[in-house]
Chain A
């Protein structure tokens, strides 16, 4: 085949959560520059199955960059070397023929590895649950534009709401801190009128849950923003800090 390449893969293999893991080397042959990183893994797994070996476990779902399932650290960078890209949208044209590629799971105490490249991100769900509910008036659907929201606030809220909860921020952070994730979740509601009634309680509850899960603290490295497939800005972390400090002096309901 012309235009294809061969890669050496060093992949983390771990049979289950309790058992020790290790890197194993694989050859990815005849890789097309037009296939995605996950498709390359699919074909490798087909070959492993044909050879009677255990396929490499990795998470994937939408394969269009919006679900956040495809967690893997590729050559030291979550979701690989391309900015603002999930692994499923990472194409093999960004790699060279003969290149060695190291693939590892997210590494964080709060994201324990379940198998190979799959880790348990339930800690994110528990942080979201700690955020609680949003008060809404029941009854008829409200009229459109009955709650005016400024353009800048709407934009900022939408930028934060882009977070797909993939955990790349934690994986990239030297402290395995979840601050960018929590910041995005706290900010998108704090910026909107619908988020106001529980604003202080939400910030306090989510930060407390984040600490309880064993994530690290923020050192303002900026690695999270660089790794985020949705390019969520670290300025939301500063906003979360402000929300948390503000909540200290706000009576909670």
Chain B
């Protein structure tokens, strides 16, 4: 295909390619996918906060989510799509930006930019690494298979006990809190900046959104951090018996909760 055939009516695919290929279009998609992912984080955090209410609401919520495959799977796929788009564009834009300045300054000074804005790739990569561990931990049950296999008295996947056991390790709880701090840095620039990428230019509104970005970042990350902190501090999960170190789990190891094909709770709003 030649680039100059009918500039008036390019085919839809070429138009989409041109849009993603342009730095403004790529940034708009970056902003939209970032906004979508923030939306997911809010729902996820809402689900997590039920840990403060005890095992019954938490496990019932997890089972209810799992019982809606028509909601769950489209949500999971949409989330995966937004996530891949966001990460893919991050690497694409970063490579383009690095190419735009092949020779660095001998003396380079930041006058106006924030640390968070200059290290979005670093904080993003750290969040990505954390996400890999987090999925292996709570979604796939790879790191603590004994916690993952627990079922409660009603035969449900015992999400509550799983989370409590996971966070009883101060190293695990600490790494989650640390990861939330890194996420806060990423979101503090991301949320404030995405509206400008989408065309919000009123200085008063931009300033308000920038401040809101810091508030949103803090609210989301503190919300998440209350769960590991609550477990370590003993406000969450005091009723859950300790597992013997190295021994078999105390709770009965029944058939995998809810049947294997339904799987444990993995997406939007649940403890993952």
Which residues of A approach B to under 8 Å, CB–CB?
10, 12, 23, 73, 75-77, 102, 104, 107-110, 172, 174-177, 179, 207-208, 210-211, 214-223, 225-227, 233-246, 248, 252
Contact = CB atoms under 8 A, between A and B. Distances in A.
Contacts of A220: 117, 189, 192-193, 196-197
Interface stretch (B70-78, B134-142, B201-209, B246-254): B201-209
Contacts of A242: 198-201
B180 interface: no
Residue of B106, B110, B201 with most partner-chain A CB within 10 A: B201
A248 B19 contact: yes
B23 A104 contact: no
Contact of A107 (B104, B110, B118, B193): B104
22 contacts: A73-B107, A75-B109, A104-B105, A107-B101, A107-B103, A172-B111, A174-B110, A175-B97, A179-B23, A211-B22, A219-B117, A220-B189, A220-B197, A221-B113, A238-B195, A238-B206, A241-B27, A241-B196, A242-B200, A242-B201, A245-B199, A246-B199
Residue of B27, B101, B195, B206 with most partner-chain A CB within 10 A: B101
A218 B27 contact: yes
A211 B21 contact: yes
Residue of A108, A225, A226, A244 with most partner-chain B CB within 10 A: A244
Contacts of A216: 23, 96-97, 99-101
A217 B93 contact: yes
A107 B201 contact: no
A233 B100 contact: no
User: Chain B interface secondary structure, helix, strand, loop or mixed?
Assistant: helix
Given A107-B103, A211-B23, A227-B111, A174 B118 contact: yes
A104 B108 CA distance: 10
B120 interface: yes
Contact of A109 (B18, B100, B206): B100
B262 interface: no
B112 interface: yes
A223 B111 contact: yes
Contacts of A222: 112-113, 117
A23 B160 CA distance: 63
A220 B213 CA distance: 13
A119 to B, nearest CB: 11
Nearest to A217: B23
A208 B22 contact: yes
B73 to A, nearest CB: 31
B80 interface: no
B8 interface: yes
A241 B102 contact: no
Nearest to B194: A220
Given A208-B18, A239-B199, A244-B22, 15 more contacts: A75-B109, A76-B107, A76-B108, A104-B106, A175-B97, A211-B23, A214-B100, A215-B100, A216-B96, A216-B101, A217-B23, A218-B24, A221-B113, A243-B199, A245-B199
